[in-house]
Amino acid sequence: MLVLHYTGMRDATAALDRLCDPAARVSAHYLVEEDGTIWRLVPESRRAFHAGVSCWEGERDLNSVSIGVEIVNPGHEWGYRPFAEAQMAAVERLCREILQRHPIPGHRVVGHADIAPERKTDPGELFDWPRLAGAGIGIWPEPSAVPSSGPVDHTQALADLATIGYCLAAETPAITAFQRRFRPARIDGVIDNQTAARLNEVQAAFARSRGSGISSGSPSG
């Protein structure tokens, strides 16, 4: 897996200090500064401590199967702000190189909030997932136009959420994490008509990525 984070600290120096402090027991394979500087902190062959208590596709020991990239941003606690162009260009280049070395499928490229929705919000709603998907990194289907109100099939929406890979220990945080990544216009943890429609098109894209051909939104079954 490839797990993207923001540092959520005041600046890059504070983040680097913490990631290099053995007592902190946190680490990541890479850190990308706002000016695009990339630090390699842990060899890719080694396990880093970045995912914490987390879950994706029913799998739980994610540090053992993932590469973690920390992207410098103060985060929601210290003043969340857009990711700089030079930084995004570096993230894109780094992720592309990682994917050349490791056959990580699109459905296993995630944000920290996706795998730990009850604890984490990173890299957050300002992160440019569409740009990365355009570069072949992760999955972000173009959203189709959907009316803001309409009937919602709650059961189907939760099934779609699980198909994508979210673990449903708690529903609202998982929906919120999904919205942060795939429907950032409104992040409230509520399965409204647009969220339900977005869930369905995203799960179809994830299902295609897995090669299963299962798409609950298509009549073919």
CB of 50 to Zn ion, least distance (A): 6
Closest CA to 88 of 183, 6, 18: 6
CB of 120 to Zn ion, least distance (A): 5
For Zn ion, the closer CB: 112 or 183: 112
CB of 70 to Zn ion, least distance (A): 7
The distance of Cα 94 from the centroid of its chain, to the nearest Å, equals 16
For Zn ion, the closer CB: 5 or 29: 5
Residues across the chain: 221
Q: In the range 119-148, which residues lie near Zn ion by CB under 5 A?
A: 122
Inter-CA distances, 58 with 54, 94, 119, Å: 10, 27, 17
Q: Is 180 in the site for Zn ion (CB under 5 A)?
A: no
Rg (C-alpha) for the chain, rounded Å, is 17
CB of 116 to Zn ion, least distance (A): 8
Closest CA to 162 of 211, 103, 119, 117: 117
Site string for Zn ion, 93-122 (x = CB under 5 A): -------------------x---------x
Among 1, 2, 4, 5, binds Zn ion (CB under 5 A): 5
Catalytic choice (33, 34, 57, 70): 70
Where helices occur in the chain by DSSP H, the ranges are: 12-19, 75-78, 85-101, 112-115, 129-134, 154-164, 171-182, 193-210
Q: Is 34 a catalytic residue?
A: no
Q: Which residues belong to the active site? A: 70
Q: Which residues bind Zn ion (CB under 5 A)?
A: 5, 112, 122
